[in-house]
Amino acid sequence: MANFPEQKGSRARRLTAVLAALSSVSALSLAAIVAEPVAMHATNGPGSTARAANAAPPRSAAEPGDFADIVARVKPAVISVRVEIDGAQQQVATQNEDGAPDPDDGQGPIMGEGSGFFISADGYAVTNNHVVDHAKSLEVVTNDGRSYGAKVVGTDPKTDLALIKVDGRDFPNVRFADQRPRVGNWVIAIGNPYGLGGTVTAGIVSAEGRDIGAGPYDDFIQIDAPINRGNSGGPAFDVNGNVIGVNTAIFSPSGGSVGIGFDIPADTAKAVIAELKDNGHVTRGWLGIKEQQITADIAEGLGLKEAKGALVDEADPAGPAGKAGIRSGDVITAVDGTTINEPRELAQKVGAMAPGSSVTVSILRNGEPKDLALRLAMMPEERPAPVEAANDGSATPGSEQDLGLLLAPASKVAGPGEKGMVVVAIDPKGAAAEHGLEAGDIILDVGGKAISNAKDFRRDLASLRKEGRVAALLRIQSNGATRFVALPLGHA
């Protein structure tokens, strides 16, 4: 079960990712569960009569008396997934609480455990990708204690879903819900937390549409039914016994449940699993751009009335968007008439479309609306980011001290290339640092105009001030990617 920290910047350092599939139950962990103090609430003594007299009001029709009948019906379809993983490949996933590798791990195979559930009588079952990732072998244990070998049919790391297959027939199975739950609806989670198979917990749907920074397709259902390490891949049910989501992550400073869990929605899981069954992998539509969120500062820099849309950082000239004429600085506002308010909506909309689909992309360019027709391509495999260009410090920089920057032409600094101005030094308390610029960044243009020296930089800032702009929109290249930064002009 992946853990997510309180602050975005400390995601990798303060709270390490904990995969539920690797929560092997040792004597120590079991002892910790049993020995943990439990607060007991008296059921007799002073005050008990008063509480009995003040009985709870009758239950509403929407609230079941208990979940026993539902659990009895669906629990046989829930399975424990046991995996043997190469310790050399998964050492990072078996870290101590402080993030350091466990010295007892990485010496051989690791036995991990997760959860899953049958979706067909002939043995197809759903679990998380991180449960079976790098697995050398899989074993499925059913609710009645029977064990079966299993194989991976297909995985989708972008949504953290996997489809596995057990040979056999007449397996009890469950179905995905046809509609998303409402916030406040009851939810029942069943799984294998800490190796304690067949564990049932209940709660409500706490929120929907959660973006937890796991990837571009984040659209999680938040639940407060307790889920812990080992619950990964298990189902969350509604009161009709339909699967509303697949348990995949928790928000926790401690590694245990604090009542904040995240589920992959049933409609997402249903579509992904169907494609995994047919093809073993998922294909997605691809525009060929890098985009970013539009903040209030960036909206001001672009002259937009609202901070909505997806700002194009760069467009691959060989990709669909680049061929259609979309370029850096454009704001994508809609796809086939569907409004795009943020980059995540763009990724989800385009990713859900088949490669080869013809679409109309609506953009704003210099405040003017424009519609461009294009045909989506297939999303290529992710490529590793290029190594950041080195700076040998040999340049004679031009000074922009008011902004906390020391700049040098890229052509005079080893590594970056010929275009733009390199940030060779930065005041950590200055305006530029406050807005995300770092030493080594390359400023390619200011307000849409390319720069090659400090004179250009100063001239363009002055021009923007004369126009009454309160922020200058800088296009920055960093680590092989480009982005926009809105730098307030009031600091100069």
In the set 156, 160, 297, 441, the catalytic residue is 160
d(CA 45, CA 155): 56
d(CA 14, CA 252): 11
In the set 80, 115, 232, 257, the catalytic residue is 232
Active site residue 232: yes
Active site residue 358: no
Active site residue 130: yes
Tokens coding 154: 């297909």
* Dihedral (CA of 33, 34, 38, 43) sign: positive
In the set 23, 80, 115, 130, the catalytic residue is 130
Tokens coding 43: 């059921």
Active site positions, annotated: 130, 160, 232
